[in-house]
Amino acid sequence: MRGCAAALVVGLVLAGCSGGEPRAAGDCGFPDADPAADESLVPPELLLTGTDLLSAERHRGTVNVVLAAPWSVQDALDRYRDAVGEAGFRIVSEDNEGFEAELYLRRGRLLAMTQVRRTVCADRSIVFFRASRVDP
């Protein structure tokens, strides 16, 4: 699963930002929001207040979602730990390295992961959610 998450991150170009005022998503190196993002693919519990949906698509049966979050990696991880539970997922494993963190999840036949990565702005992070059904 880590390889899949790493593939999602490839191409993310980080740009500098200045301190002070809250920043718009683009100021911290986030990719541009995809106007074709399908919000219906995202469990509503994961669309936390303050996040911006950057992309959401289904590809070969796998749902891929990218969100811009107005929190540090640790703050976002804490919020998403609660949110995935509210969405009915069980946390199978967790890995927190500080600059990035992952939650590996299961809900019935659905395997998923949430990865939170820091941007060049300490108070903003990018969140990846990926989910696929597994055959019985």
Q: Which two tokens stand for residue 6?
A: 């790493």
Instruction: Tell me the pTM.
Output: 0.78
What tens digit of pLDDT does each residue of 83-101 get? Answer: 999 999 999 999 999 999 9
Q: Which domains does the chain have, with CATH numbers?
A: 2-133 (3.40.1000)
pLDDT of residue 136: 66
Can you tell me the mean pLDDT for 18-23?
A: 40
Identify the CA nearest to 69 among candidates 5, 129, 11, 2.
Answer: 129
pLDDT of residue 23: 42
Rounded to whole angstroms, how far apart are CA atoms 49 and 60? 29
pLDDT of residue 22: 45
The model's confidence at residue 29, banded by pLDDT at 50, 70 and 90, is confident
Q: Which two tokens stand for residue 115?
A: 């990865």
Tokens 């074709």 found at: 36
